[in-house]
Amino acid sequence: MNLDLFRISASLIVALAFFTASTVAFSSIKPDLETEILDLQQRWDVANFQQLDKKVRHTQLTALEVTAASVVAAFPDRAEPLIWHGIIKSTLAGLNGGLTALRQVKQARSLFERAININSSALRGAAYTSLGALYTQVPPWPIAFGSNKKARINLERGLAINPDGLDANYFYAGFLEKTGNIAEAVKVLQAALRTNDRPGRAVADTGRKLQIERDLARLRRQASIAQ
């Protein structure tokens, strides 16, 4: 079972995921939590977008998942740690595959749902976007819980909160491609490519926009072949 949840290859994770979360809104986060979230964010950015060795990436993300769990425990009433814990678990699932991945994506789904119950707007709706990405990518029942209907609902909720978000548009485009709306997917990817870079997310923004350029090239080749 190939669970490339964050579209490291050609589709999306988080997880997420989108995957991936927007820049932290510092004014709404306690100082200690702000530091912890920045640490999770920056380490994930490097592991996911700069680390080319899969074994090293897996080791880094495994350690980061332990850190994320400790941040969740330290701030049980905050949505932000839950979102990042879910993103990290989803990314690990994409590396692991098989039954381990299935267990991890179910855990990630639970983390995103908990985050939504606490604060659905946290990290600019990243929990909705990441959850929608999971529903897009994982197989449907009886293997897993994939659902185009639930994917659309959650991705559109994420877009409603963050209409100009890089990841929100990126993962929605992935859903559109999966459901056969290729022309619309191209438009959304083009919109994502035009989004402003996020403060403190240079690594993630560069990596994501490179993915978008590759996806656009692939979709255009497919369109030319179809003609």
Secondary structure letter of residue 198 according to DSSP: P
Nearest Cα neighbor of 5 from 131, 173, 121 is 131
Kindly report, residue by residue over 72-88, the tens digit of the pLDDT.
999 999 999 999 999 99
Distant-in-sequence, close-in-space partners of 15: CB < 8 Å, separation ≥ 6: 5, 6, 86, 87, 89, 90, 91, 93, 94, 105, 108, 130, 133, 134
Kindly report, residue by residue over 7-19, the tens digit of the pLDDT.
333 333 433 544 4
Please, which pLDDT band fits residue 198 given cuts at 50, 70 and 90? Answer: confident
Nearest Cα neighbor of 37 from 195, 200, 208, 209 is 200
Q: What residue type is assigned to position 83 of the chain?
A: I
Q: What is the reported pLDDT for 222? A: 84
CA 55/CA 19 separation, integer angstroms: 21
SS3 content of the chain, % helix, strand, coil (to 5): 70, 0, 30
CA 13/CA 30 separation, integer angstroms: 27
Q: Are 168 and 189 in contact (CB under 8 A)?
A: no
Nearest Cα neighbor of 111 from 135, 79, 138 is 79
Q: Are 167 and 22 in contact (CB under 8 A)?
A: yes
Q: Span 95-115, mean pLDDT?
A: 96
Q: Are 173 and 152 in contact (CB under 8 A)?
A: no
One of 3.30.70.270, 1.25.40.10, 3.40.50.720, 3.40.1350.10 is the CATH number of 26-161, namely: 1.25.40.10
Mean pLDDT of the chain: 88
